[in-house]
Structure 1
Amino acid sequence: MARQHLDGAGGGADEPGTPRAREPEAPYAAAPATAAHAAYVDAAYAPEALDAPAGGKEVPEDTPADPDAAPSPAAPSPTAPPPAAPRRRMSRGRKVLLGAVIMLFAGVLLAASGLWWAYEHYTGRVDRIPNAFPTNVPEKHQPARSKGGETYLLIGVDARSDLPLTGDEAGEHTWEPGAQRSDTMMLVHLPEGRDGGYVVSLPRDSWVTIPGRGEAKLNAAFSYGGPPLLIDTVQRMTKVRIDHLAVIDWSGFKRLTDAVGGVDITIDETTPRRNGGGEWTAGTHHMDGETALDYVRERHGLPRGDLDRTQRQQNFLRAVVTETMAADNFSNPLKVKRLLDAVTATVSVDDRFSDGAMRDLMWDMKGVRSDDLVFMNAPVAGLDMIDGQSVVLLDDKAGDPLWEAMRNDTMDRYVEKYPTDRLGGTAP
């Protein structure tokens, strides 16, 4: 079936710049109390301190002593302090032990403050997209808050667009009509227990109703009205409330792929390679960032067109997550910094997503690995040609249980009960 696309494949564009970084805050300085305390201890237990009078009236030197008189305690002065008990000198071993405990405690504090500074530094570096959510939406089209978990709309921006959405080059305004295209749209549901995640791809060629614009491909919503119109379109289509927005650019993923040393991607069957010529041979390939980006963008030679392309995107995303979360990446501080720099340069989020909420999410999801993520396509009824465009027809009847499960935080039950177009071990 011949297919042509309204928006085309696009040409090359510069990669987005690095987000503006906040000035790092100085870690807490060590308190000088340790040295002062040691000096106090030495003075208090010195020999001359132990031999000094403890208190009471002073006896004049010319007072004769009575040898027959029994010794009697000196009468206490009404204003003098009570006699102090004799002090024992602290042993050298105890001093050393005390100093070691103090130094250990100070080290723990410094390490904790350093970790907190890293959280503050890198979450603060993530660019925020202002006014990302729609306003003036009729009440009947505003979905209720989900009964558990959170749902994110992940937008993959074609970096070949004229204007970047991420980094310093995005400027004050991150969107202009017709200037950018969203070639990837995924709903990511994180259950309340934060023990995994469910990634549902919405094909970019899905034929949908765009508020105020009529029927068109789903990715046209972003081109027409940026993030607010795309969010409004997806919410009306699924009746799922979008809690947060995240925008990635595939050029940023290219840098992230290189930062982890490349990724292993398994291709299920040999297919033509339009970008760069040749073919994608069946088997496992170790890809650098540029090769992986060509793999993700490929669409024309795939048997199911846009549907297979979404699975390639999922396959690549899973491979990057697997490599990024590998244990050896976190044993080298320099590698950790390089990874965090690449991640923060790749992702932008809505301005409602605070640094504190981002830190909480990172902490809650620290144990999740790629095997805990389920990737799938939204249910599709078939492919068609409308107005000379190749489009994907979503299956509304089969989609209703999926969106209901997302609203009710019961995605685990859904994947057990319903057949899904899930990403398996490989992709085309």
Structure 2
Amino acid sequence: MTPREWADEADEDSGPLSIFDHDESNGSDRPDGSDGGTGPDGGQRAAAAPNRRRRGRRLLLWTLGVLLLLAGGALGAVAWTAEHYASSVARIPNAFPSLPASEQPAAVPHSGQTFLLVGLDARSDQPTTGKDAKAPAWQVGAQRSDTMMLMHISADRKSVSLVSIPRDTWVPVPGHGSAKINAAYSWGGPALMVQTVQDLTKIRIDHVAVIDWNGFRALTDAVGGVDITIPRTIEAKGDAREWLAGTHHMDGAQALLYVRERHGLPNGDLDRTKRQQNFLRSLMLQTMNSGTLSSPSKLTGLLGTIGDVASVDDRLSNSDLYDLAWSLRAVRPDGVHFMNAPFGGFDTVDGQSVVLMDNGAAGVLWDAMRTDRMDDYLAQHRTSADTLGTDVN
């Protein structure tokens, strides 16, 4: 039924008039109490009143019908857009270890959600042949993870904490003995990486996201670049470029160089993880402050790149992604915290330069994350060298 047909049918209703109809009434609400039909043409005016009422009601109902259709169309467009972009995010099958629940950390009720973020220089799940063909999200020995972060979202959705585990951290890898933590991804993909991190932290991982640093080039350009401050000049070393002290407005290509480099940095891989965190913080600030979220054209450009940046585990449905994004709408930049896992020193094992974790201090951090007490932890460790500050090499 069209709006017009619906209005015509509704016009035959004999129910009481609304306040919108009173100007077309028979005059019973006139100040003099007359019926509006006392003149020579009073009978004609009285006869015309029902017709006016019908016309008034018809116009009102037709207008409401149009407004409802327009509103429905707008909501449909929003739903279609959300579905379209959520569907563009690739899903990772078999992202979790196939172990009995008794052999994994117990989930703590009402303690928020914890994601394992795995950063790669290039994903192996990009199209191979044909428009929609995709290779597996992981291939044995094809790549080692470049970055690992635990992202904890508080149960009240007011804060987010991201903790980097340097890729050279020496840890036990189930079934392989001790090794650098990034080897776990190469040997067993996301599932072995999840198992390794769960064994290390005793935190149950709820979801996995694999991030492609190459994709961040387009994401950075979509928000107009980012401003990153280099506190002191970093000299060129090997393939690494020179970075002059000062604030740099970086496009996607420059930002990618910034997050990849570690040669020439005073603390090598530790400084590299802080650069990655600093970039993500700057990207978040730029997204919030550049009007991207309030500009349809800018937002479309931003959303269009999400599928090129991240894959998520197949337990995350499109509706889960909507709910997660909506639940985080009140988070502000000062509610997002970055830090490294507590550093225990450098060492050499079997000829490999490795990073050691301070297991005692790390245990306190992991317990706070597991029980959703990160705000308390940060209040006590805000000045720690492991917490990201403004002075980032």
Q: TM-score, normalised by structure 1?
A: 0.77
- Tell me how far apart the structure 2 counterparts of residues 107 and 275 of structure 1 sit (CA, whole Å): 60
1:274/1:334 CA distance change after superposition, 3 Å: farther
Residue in structure 1 matched with residue 341 of structure 2 by the alignment: 378
> Which of 186, 189, 204 matches 1:226?
189
Assess if the C-alpha contact under 8 Å between 2:212 and 2:308 holds in 1. no
Alignment match, 2:369: 406
Whether the aligned pair in 1 keeps the contact of 2:262 and 2:271 (CA below 8 Å) is: yes
Q: Does 1:88 align with 2:88?
A: no
**Percent of residue pairs identical:** 50
Pair 1:95–1:42, CA change in 2 (3 A): closer
Alignment-derived partner of residue 143 in structure 1: 105
When residues 226 and 167 of structure 1 are mapped into structure 2, their CA distance, relative to the original with a 3 A threshold, is same
Task: Note if 1:207 corresponds to 2:166.
Answer: no
Per the alignment, do residues 90 and 166 of structure 1 end up closer, same or farther by CA in structure 2, a change over 3 Å counting? farther
Tell me by how many angstroms 1:102 deviates.
2.4
Aligned partners of 1:146 and 1:240 also within 8 Å: no
Q: Point out where structure 2 has 5 or more consecutive residues left out of the alignment.
A: 15-47
Letter in 1 for 2:286: E
Corresponding residue to 2:235 among 272, 286, 289: 272
Tell me the amino acid that sits aligned with residue 144 of structure 1.
A
**2:203 alignment partner, SS class:** coil
**Given that residues 124 and 139 in structure 2 are in contact (C-alpha distance below 8 angstroms), is that contact kept between their aligned partners in structure 1?**
no
2:3 maps to 1:34: yes
Alignment TM-score, normalising by the size of structure 2: 0.84
**Which amino acid in 2 is paired with 1:244?**
H
**Is 1:117 matched up with 2:83?**
no
Could you tell me how far apart the structure 2 residues matched to 1:201 and 1:330 are? 27
Instruction: Give 1:87 deviation, angstroms.
Output: 9.2
Q: Counterpart in 2 of 1:133?
A: 96
Q: Is the contact between residue 277 and residue 338 of structure 2 (CA under 8 Å) also seen in structure 1?
A: yes
Deviations 1:291-316 (Å, cap 9, x if unpaired)?
Answer: 11111011111111111110000001
Alignment counterpart, residue 186 of structure 1, candidates 149, 171, 189:
149
Report Cα offsets for 1:38-70 as digits up to 9, x if no partner.
33467889xxxxxxxxxxxxxxxxxxxxxxxxx
The answer as to whether partners of 2:8 and 2:58 remain within 8 angstroms in 1 is no
The one-letter amino acid paired with 2:85 is Y
- Quick check: which has more Rg, 1 or 2? 1
SS state at 1:271 partner: coil
CA distance 1:166–1:275, shift in 2 (3 Å): farther
Q: CA deviation at 1:369?
A: 3.3
Q: Which structure would you say has the larger RCO, counting Cα contacts within 8 Å and 6 or more residues apart?
A: 1
CA distance in 1, matches of 2:5, 2:113: 52
> How much does 1:273 deviate?
3.6
Report the structure, 1 or 2, having the larger helix content.
Answer: 2
State whether structure 2 residue 224 is matched by structure 1 residue 261. yes
DSSP 3-state at the match of 1:368: coil
Alpha carbons 1:166, 1:347 under 8 Å: kept: no
Describe the SS at the equivalent of 2:185. Answer: helix
> RMSD across aligned C-alpha pairs, in angstroms?
2.2
Offset at residue 417 of structure 1 (A): 1.9
Match status 1:416 vs 2:379: yes
Name the CA shift for 1:152/1:42 in 2 (closer, same or farther; >3 Å): closer
